[in-house]
């Protein structure tokens, strides 16, 4: 399926998507940058005419306003922006009310989604073994705005699904150019077990977001990437 795409945001993720889109047979017809879109002002029917799907990768403060505008315009939207999920009920109501479509994910890597399922299974195995302490570590580039990362929050939720009785404290590191490393560790006096996902670039996120865009066309409602991949919550 060949899609006409709007990119909302012109940062690292939007550039990664723009670089990959032609190879997947898609065309980026408009890129909406931050300075022209204060409060979602550039998201108009004229600007988005003929767009099949919008891909929204901006900031935690900008995303909810953008998503409300895109829902009102009934432009199917894939968002990977993190740090805004406290506004999800409001956005969800708008998407449903306008019979629009939204797919959101803190991480569009298929490997991460499988890692979250492996983490849930690991947590279930360690449940009821207080000799092991557990924690999460995540490292990202110095420019990342939110901490803990959306993926670290998803990892904590997956681990709690496997072991509801345990707390999983998160340590966040912001330094250098790291695209994203997430680990869960279990540690006893004599041994350490670690499960780690390390992204080597943004290509996996871009590929997942484009796959989500193709999947979303023709649908109505609010979806997550794991629902798309597995048909259920992780
Ligand atoms: N789901 C995933 O797989 C995944 C993967 C990587 C990153 N992310 C998340 O995606 C988001 C973007 O990441 P990034 O690395 O691309 O960040 P980035 O390089 O900092 O880019 C963000 C861009 O959003 C723009 N922006 C701000 N407000 C805007 C608005 N109202 N309308 C349009 N654009 C606006 C900024 O423009 P100005 O500079 O002009 O303000 C900036 O260019 C972050 O929340 C990050 O955590 C998700």
* Beta carbons within 10 angstroms of residue 229's beta carbon: 18
Tell me which residue has tokens 């279990």: 186
Strand partners, 195: 184
Alpha carbon nearest to ligand 1 atom 10, residue: 81
Using a 6 Å cutoff on CB, does residue 70 contact ligand 1?
A: no
Ligand 1 atom closest to the Cα of residue 150 is 47
pLDDT at 1: 85
Phi and psi at residue 37, to the nearest 5°: -125, 35
pLDDT at 208: 97
The rounded Å distance from CA 32 to ligand 1 centre is 11
* Ligand 1 touching residue 108 (CB < 6 A): yes
Q: Which tokens belong to 217?
A: 């066309």
Instruction: Quote the pLDDT of residue 226.
Output: 92
Task: Name residues of the chain where pLDDT drops below 50.
Answer: 234
Looking from the CA of residue 8, the nearest atom of ligand 1 is 33
Residue 234: per-residue pLDDT: 46
144 is catalytic: yes
Q: What is residue 233's predicted lDDT score, i.e. its pLDDT?
A: 53
């Amino acid at each position: 399926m060949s899609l006409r795409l709007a990119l909302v945001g012109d940062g690292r993720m939007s550039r990664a998507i723009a670089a990959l889109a032609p190879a997947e047979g898609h065309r980026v017809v408009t890129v909406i940058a931050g300075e022209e879109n204060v409060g979602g002002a550039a998201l108009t029917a004229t600007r988005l005419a003929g767009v099949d799907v919008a891909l929204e990768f901006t900031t935690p403060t900008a995303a909810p306003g953008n998503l409300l505008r895109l829902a009102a315009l009934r432009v199917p939207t894939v968002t990977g922006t993190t740090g805004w999920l406290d506004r999800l009920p409001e956005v969800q109501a708008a998407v449903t009310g306008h019979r629009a479509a939204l797919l959101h994910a803190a991480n569009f890597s298929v490997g991460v989604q499988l890692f979250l399922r492996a983490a849930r299974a690991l947590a279930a195995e360690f449940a009821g073994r207080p000799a092991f302490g557990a924690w999460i570590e995540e490292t990202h580039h110095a420019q990342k705005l939110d901490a803990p990362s959306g993926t670290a929050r998803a990892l904590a939720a997956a681990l709690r699904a496997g072991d509801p009785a345990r707390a999983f404290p998160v340590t966040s590191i912001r330094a250098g150019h790291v695209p994203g490393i997430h680990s869960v560790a279990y540690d006893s006096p004599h041994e350490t077990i670690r499960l780690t996902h390390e992204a080597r670039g943004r290509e996996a996120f871009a590929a997942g977001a484009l796959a989500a865009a193709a999947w979303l066309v023709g649908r109505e409602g609010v979806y997550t990437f794991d629902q798309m991949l597995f048909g259920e919550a992780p």
